[in-house]
Amino acid sequence: MKDFLWGSATASYQCEGGWNEGNRAISMWDRYLHDNHLENGDVASDHYHRFEEDIRMMKEGGQNSYRFSIAWPRIIKNAEGEVNQEGVDFYNRVIDTCLKYDIEPFVTIFHWDLPDYLEQNGGWLNRQTTEAYAHYAKVCFEKFGDRVRLWTTFNEPRYYTFSGYLIGNYPPGHQDLQETVTSSYYMMLASAMAVKEFRNGGYQGQIGIVHSFSPIYGVDSTVETAIAARYAENFYNNWILDTAALGEIPGDLLAELYGRCDLSMMKPEDLELIKSYTVDFLGLNYYARVMIAPYTTGETTLIVNNKGKQAKGTSQTIIKGWFEQVRPESSQYTEWDTEIFPEGLCEGIRRVWNKYRLPVYITENGIGLYEDVTVEQVDDRQRIEFMDSHIHAVMQAKEEGCDVRGYYAWSPFDLYSWKNGTEKRYGLVAIDYEDGLKRKPKKSYYWYRDMIAQDQKN
């Protein structure tokens, strides 16, 4: 398929490094990881210095698009909103390098690295952050909108707010339903504000949002499970997708929250704005489905795998009184305890397309593995198998008529994986952190290149 975008995705904090270079402000992640003496992204994959080589490798790997995020702390220096020219220059170089190699830049405006000066002021619990974000987004459009045609406002607001405010395993590390609701609300309001800036500026191209998409499955077909699954669908998916695509926060979710939370921050003029500025497309990050059972007992918890790390996809979650997530037995799991369920991707695309009728991009999909990268070539056949089955699922949905326009592997090269550090590897290219950050394509890199070439013949 000629117009299909085949690419791979990164996030600024996870790949750039150069944390104190180019006049970059401190992000909330720098503060949190430094203060708690945790493995950090100070150097990460050193993409800040090696982006040219990395983008060239994407090109040589047959890819025609690169999804990356802009680091807010590189662009806006302080709470007064002053622009940092060195940060703008850096992303100009990244974008121009993409264009030189005929790689379509696909830009995420916010992938979790909030400037610390905003976090110190309440972060996404403070309405002022929405204003600061709208200003930052406008600067991005003004500086890069002449060359970037595909934008997304946020990466995974649901995952961000669940992790930071419900489960507490990401900064700021709270466990509070009210804060979860407030931060989710402000992020979705900010997303609509960015869409407004984009429309008002008359830029070419399209703007969407990226969602951590877990299609919900009920554990059985009882009425109790159907109700629990509906709560979960609202909380996991509709809260983001309905709000971004239809301009409506699901009414039954609001009705449920009404008795439990203070919703007075939801002003009528905000709801108008959300209604008026919906997105052009949906980006879905897919790792696994979520299986739901009715709530029985217990508190919101984090499920960790046998190495004590957070499992991706199967993480969490009990929402007290509403539902709980169960582990589908008899399924296959990765060594990080994520269920492998490609059918969920096809079914998920179908559901999203049938409901919203907006173009879909699979903005992340991949498998985290423990890998020995000292060998000459990592033989990552598990990754090849994983990608192959998931790409088939995407193609099936496309053949059925769903408007899917691209697929992005997470990730083009190994990255710093948040709380899982550098131990959990997702890359098509290995990075040897012990040996000068040398890049070495894994087997999957060549497999992906050949698969794309084959597809483009058709």
CB of 260 to ligand FCB, least distance (A): 27
The amino acid sitting at 371 is: E
Smallest gap from Cβ 80 to ligand FCB, in A, equals 29
Per CB under 6 A, 336 contacts ligand FCB: no
Q: Does residue 156 touch ligand FCB according to CB under 6 A? A: yes
Nearer to ligand FCB, 185 or 408 (CB): 408
Single out the residue of 417, 439, 440, 452 in contact with ligand FCB (rule: CB under 6 A): 417
If binding is defined by CB under 6 A, does position 213 make contact with ligand FCB?
A: no
In angstroms, give the least distance from the CB of 102 to ligand FCB.
Answer: 26
| Region binding ligand FCB by CB under 6 A among candidate stretches 37-45, 58-66, 153-161, 353-361 | 153-161
Q: Which is closer to ligand FCB, CB of 91 or CB of 408?
A: 408
Distance of CA 377 to the CA centre of its chain: 28
Q: What is the 3-state secondary structure (H, E, C) of the chain?
A: CCCCEEEEECCHHHHCCCCCCCCCCCEHHHHHHHHCCCCCCCCCCCHHHHHHHHHHHHHHCCCCEEEEECCHHHHECCCCCCECHHHHHHHHHHHHHHHHCCCEEEEEEECCCCEHHHHCCCHHHCCHHHHHHHHHHHHHHHHHCCCCCEEEEEECHHHHHHHHHHHCCCCCCCCCHHHHHHHHHHHHHHHHHHHHHHHHCCCCCEEEEEEECCCEEECCCCHHHHHHHHHHHHHHHHHHHHHHHHCCCCHHHHHHHHCCCCCCCCCHHHHHHHHHCCCCEEEEECCCCEEEEECCCCCCCCCECCCCCECCCCCCCEECCCEEEECCCCCEECCCCCEECCHHHHHHHHHHHHHHCCCEEEEECCCCECCCCCCCCCCCHHHHHHHHHHHHHHHHHHHCCCCEEEEEECCCECCCCHHHCCCCECCCEEEECCCCCEEEECHHHHHHHHHHHHHHHC
Applying CB under 6 A, does 69 fall inside the site for ligand FCB? no
Q: Is 40 in the site for ligand FCB (CB under 6 A)?
A: no
Nearer to ligand FCB, 317 or 417 (CB): 417
Q: Is 159 in the site for ligand FCB (CB under 6 A)?
A: yes
Rank residues 90 and 159 by Cβ distance to ligand FCB and give the closer one: 159
Window 348-377: residues binding ligand FCB (CB under 6 A) = 364
Question: Is 364 an active-site residue?
Answer: yes
Q: Is 325 in the site for ligand FCB (CB under 6 A)?
A: no
How many chain residues are in contact with ligand FCB, going by CB under 6 A?
A: 13
Which of 144, 386, 407, 418 forms a contact with ligand FCB (CB under 6 A)?
418
CA 45 to chain centre: 18
Q: Which of the following is catalytic: 179, 197, 233, 364?
A: 364
CB closest to ligand FCB, residue no: 11
410 binds ligand FCB (CB under 6 A): yes
Q: Based on CB atoms, which residue is closest to ligand FCB, 91 or 159? A: 159
Q: Which member of 285, 305, 315, 365 binds ligand FCB (CB under 6 A)?
A: 285
Chosen residue from 40, 212, 238, 334 binding ligand FCB by CB under 6 A: 212
By CB under 6 A, the residues from 419 to 438 that bind ligand FCB are 426
Q: Which of 4, 5, 6, 11 binds ligand FCB (CB under 6 A)?
A: 11
Catalytic residues: 364
Q: Which residues bind ligand FCB (CB under 6 A)?
A: 11, 14, 155-156, 159, 212, 285, 312, 364, 410, 417-418, 426
